[in-house]
Structure 1
Amino acid sequence: MKPHRVSSFKKPAEAALFLEKWNQEVEALNGFSYERITISTSFGNTRIWAANTHLTDAKPVVFFPGARTCGLFWDMDNALKPFRENHRFYIVDVNGQPSLSDGMCPNLKSTDYGVWATELLDGLGLKKTTIVGASLGGLICLKLCLESPRRVKKAILMNPAGIQAFSTSVQNLYNNLLPILWPTMGNLNKFLDKAIFCPPRHAVPDLYRSLISEYLLYALTNHKFRGDYPAPLEKEELHRLTTEIYLILGENDPLFPPNETIRLAEEHILTLQGSQIIPSTGHGIETSKEALAILWEIVNKSACFSY
């Protein structure tokens, strides 16, 4: 398949060393090491972080991260520790994003993301699995559900792109553009406090916060993203979804405000099973222990949802 566009680092060899070291630091803080898997796809190689691959009878779960992040953002402060007990799970570094996967970018306006994600399931030998996505990862989940619905048991979307458009409020645009146009640690931390976290309820310990800031600043100053920015699916596409869909949303997400996501989902996703809003939680919901506890309950069929 011809790549849509190709993202790249200014100094690829240096970036690979930085990213390997960064991921190892996350693992060291967590006291847990992942198995590294590389899968060849139509968009180049994809790095997967795997846990409990030996538990062949365990429930599989596949996690897709958000834009301008990488897979192990899902495991800040040991957030996925409950899944290590008896789940087989896989965390994806998305192609085209600043990660250890190749830079070829799937085309958002086509079936590319669904094709690529299906190839990952093939490479992992997963006939059917639960999928989880945050932000851009939520949109990828929706694309996979459209491309290969029989391969998905349920899709859990956390502050997802793909249902509503990115908010164009003045405050949200300012918070997001500030570190992009002027990538300093000070501006980045303003963005994290205003958009990603919601302290004191939604925050991470200082060592993890430092790692997040270090990664994002490196990505902003050294990575040239060439792909498409998240956009909502057509209403007709949402109508075609046949997979069970669950929503977990942050009350204070300024990028995709939760009430509008719920309104559109209730109107257009016929298989929506329910939604839950987590109080005082920002866009970076994958770092919220409260949200991850609800996620664990949904994966294991013990969550109570209401509209």
Structure 2
Amino acid sequence: MAMKPHRISTFKNPTEAENFLEEWNRQIETLNGFSYERLTISTSFGNTRIWAANTHLTDAKTIVFFPGARTCGLFWDMDNALKPFRENHRFYIVDVNGQPGLSAGTCPRLKSSDYGVWATELLDGLGLKKTTIVGASLGGLICLKLCLESPRRVKKAILLNPAGIQSFSTSISNLYYNLLPIVWPTLSNLNKFLNKAILCPPHHAVPTPYRNLLCEYLLYALFNHKFRGDYPAPLEKEELHRLTTEIYLILGEKDLLFPPDETIRLAEEHILTLQGSQILPNTSHGIETSKEALELVWHTINKSVCYAY
């Protein structure tokens, strides 16, 4: 049977979008006082933008970060959250193809090995024989696909509020707050979405300049980006059974999209290489913006934390 052609996400005005996104990322770097090296990796799904740090540290531990849906790579570094990694780690942050970032709009298919193939091509392009991978939400699903496609290339996978294990919650509150800014894309509705579904102020929040940039980015994407790919869905149980990579879970207690208790239940039942889980109190779905979560990632990579199991 012939494969269906890949669907391609688009911006209304690609040149304007590229300028907006380059400037938006530059503002994050300016606030953080740190500039990333820009890399472009050619893949069978088009070019992928990578934000790289410490590429000169060739003997350092390496990490590849995959962000969630409807975001881009530098969401990981809100409020300098990745600063601890800059001291002695070499790391790469990915703008996922098909999402509203600086990578090509070609969307990997979910019900195939596409995400795993694409992520493997990124490791090839970066010259990484084996690395630790970290993913949030959709990024967690991408990590799982990479572990299935190229298990020998992954030291460990650290998943934060991942898609790919359980279905997107159909609770009334989750559907309401996620659909609100999509159906009525106003700043007021976007702030309700951020406060109720993504952040958990005052414990899980970002300073005002970063919050303003979050709103600016999300509103621009809502008005200007047409996503044509597959939405995250759980892997088949037999796929979870086939995982041979060490898997670590870091979950937000208040995650409406993928409630932590169900993720843990399914992971403990179906992922034989699960190393354990940590639940962060007063933390919502946008866990990649939590300094507490990123500190736990750092300790997990450097083997200085024990997981509950």
TM-score by length of 1: 0.99
Matches within 5 A, 1:91-240: 91-240=93-242
State whether residues 95 and 104 of structure 1, in contact with CA within 8 Å, keep that contact through their aligned partners in structure 2: yes
What code does the residue aligned with 2:206 have?
V
Alpha-carbon shift at residue 4 of structure 1 (Å): 1.8
Residues 27-63 of structure 1: per-residue CA shift (max 9 Å, x gap) = 0000000000000000000000000000000000000
State whether residues 131 and 156 of structure 1, in contact with CA within 8 Å, keep that contact through their aligned partners in structure 2: yes
State whether residues 3 and 105 of structure 1, in contact with CA within 8 Å, keep that contact through their aligned partners in structure 2: no
State how far apart, in whole Å, the 2-side matches of 1:289 and 1:47 are: 24
- 1:6 is paired with a residue of what secondary structure? coil
State whether residues 48 and 93 of structure 1, in contact with CA within 8 Å, keep that contact through their aligned partners in structure 2: yes
State how far apart, in whole Å, the 1-side matches of 2:210 and 2:27 are: 10
State how far apart, in whole Å, the 1-side matches of 2:167 and 2:308 are: 24
- 1:105 is paired with a residue of what secondary structure? coil
Q: 5+ unaligned residues in a row in structure 1: which ranges?
A: none
Q: 1:82 to 1:2 in 2, by over 3 A?
A: farther
Residues 209-230 of structure 1: per-residue CA shift (max 9 Å, x gap) = 0000100000001000000000
* Counterpart for residue 18 of structure 2: 16
Equivalent in 46, 49, 57 of residue 47 of structure 1: 49
- 2:50 is paired with a residue of what secondary structure? strand
State whether residues 188 and 213 of structure 1, in contact with CA within 8 Å, keep that contact through their aligned partners in structure 2: yes
- 2:21 is paired with a residue of what secondary structure? helix
State whether residues 3 and 104 of structure 1, in contact with CA within 8 Å, keep that contact through their aligned partners in structure 2: no
What code does the residue aligned with 2:24 have?
W
Alpha-carbon shift at residue 2 of structure 1 (Å): 7.5
- 1:162 is paired with a residue of what secondary structure? coil
State how far apart, in whole Å, the 2-side matches of 1:80 and 1:114 are: 25
State how far apart, in whole Å, the 2-side matches of 1:166 and 1:198 are: 19
State how far apart, in whole Å, the 1-side matches of 2:197 and 2:4 are: 35
State whether residues 253 and 282 of structure 1, in contact with CA within 8 Å, keep that contact through their aligned partners in structure 2: yes
- 1:104 is paired with a residue of what secondary structure? coil
State how far apart, in whole Å, the 1-side matches of 2:44 and 2:179 are: 32
* Counterpart for residue 252 of structure 1: 254
State whether residues 51 and 90 of structure 1, in contact with CA within 8 Å, keep that contact through their aligned partners in structure 2: yes
State how far apart, in whole Å, the 2-side matches of 1:200 and 1:52 are: 33
CA RMSD of aligned residues (A): 0.8
Residues 208-255 of structure 1: per-residue CA shift (max 9 Å, x gap) = 000001000000010000000000000000000000000000000000
* Counterpart for residue 267 of structure 1: 269
Residues 182-219 of structure 1: per-residue CA shift (max 9 Å, x gap) = 11111000000000000110000000000001000000
Aligned length: 307
